[in-house]
Amino acid sequence: MLGRLPLPEQLDAFRSVLGRNEILTEVMSRTATLDLPGWYVTAGCLFQTVWNVVTGRPPAQGIRDYDVFYFDDTDLSWQAEDAVIKAGQEVFDDLRAEVEIRNEARVHLWYERKFNVPCPPYDSTESAIDRFAATTCCLGVRLEPDGEWRVYAPHGLSDVFNLVVRPNPVLAPKEVYEAKTARWKEEWPELTVLPWPADPPA
């Protein structure tokens, strides 16, 4: 099983699997042209591509959108972020996929209104990825200027390959985790979804 390979081989397998999703690789290539600070393609489009390949589905099946995170704390205005979003819309205009670009330096300005829990300001894109509702989601990939892939996977890749969804109760509330996992379980019934802990850390 891929989840039992040594870590360097898991990384090679991860890149190989993601490379089978042509939409994903195109999103990565086009995002690189936007020159966004600290950017990653992240979240569902990554682990769901792996789930699809591991279970024998088409690589892009069931993927609703492709998330691009970047981090720019030099201008926290909505106007600055909106300018980046509009530039992205032009870059991705002919791509048959929804690409959502967000400045993670601004998340603390709106997160509590949406999820009813406060969010401390992030200090990097990585710190935003660290706080996804499931550790399985904590992934980011980008193309470096030399064409190499940079992979951020603070919880490793074994759960992703083994179809295990593990809660990450550091920010997102239980309801978010349970809503997301219920939807994922419908699309990928092979998943093992671990329960939210009874006493999550403060």
Instruction: Give me the pLDDT at residue 51, please.
Output: 98
Q: With respect to residue 202, please indicate whether it lies within any of the assigned structural domains.
A: no
Render 23-48 in DSSP notation, one character per residue.
HHHHHHHHHHTT--TT-EEETHHHHH
Q: With respect to residue 196, please indicate whether it lies within any of the assigned structural domains.
A: no
- State the total domains in the chain: 1
Cα angle 56, 59, 64 (rounded to 5 degrees) comes to: 125
Instruction: Give me the pLDDT at residue 139, please.
Output: 97
Residue pair 86/35 in contact (Cβ under 8 Å)? The answer is no
Q: What is the CA radius of gyration of the chain?
A: 17
User: Do strands 40-42 and 164-165 pair parallel, antiparallel, or not at all (unpaired)?
Assistant: unpaired
Q: With respect to residue 99, please indicate whether it lies within any of the assigned structural domains.
A: yes
* Helix, strand, coil shares, percent, the chain, to 5: 45, 15, 45
Q: How many C-beta atoms surround the C-beta of residue 157 within 10 A?
A: 22
Instruction: Give me the pLDDT at residue 202, please.
Output: 54
Predicted TM-score of the model (pTM): 0.92
3 state SS of 162: coil
Domain that holds residue 77: 2-191
**Residue closest to 76 by CA, chosen among 101, 104, 99, 100:** 104
List residues bridging with 167 in a β-sheet. Answer: 134
pLDDT in tens, the chain (202 residues): 555 656 678 888 999 999 999 999 999 999 999 999 999 999 999 999 999 999 999 999 999 999 999 999 999 999 999 999 999 999 999 998 999 999 999 999 998 888 888 899 999 999 999 999 999 999 999 999 888 999 999 999 999 999 999 999 998 899 999 999 999 999 999 999 999 998 655 5
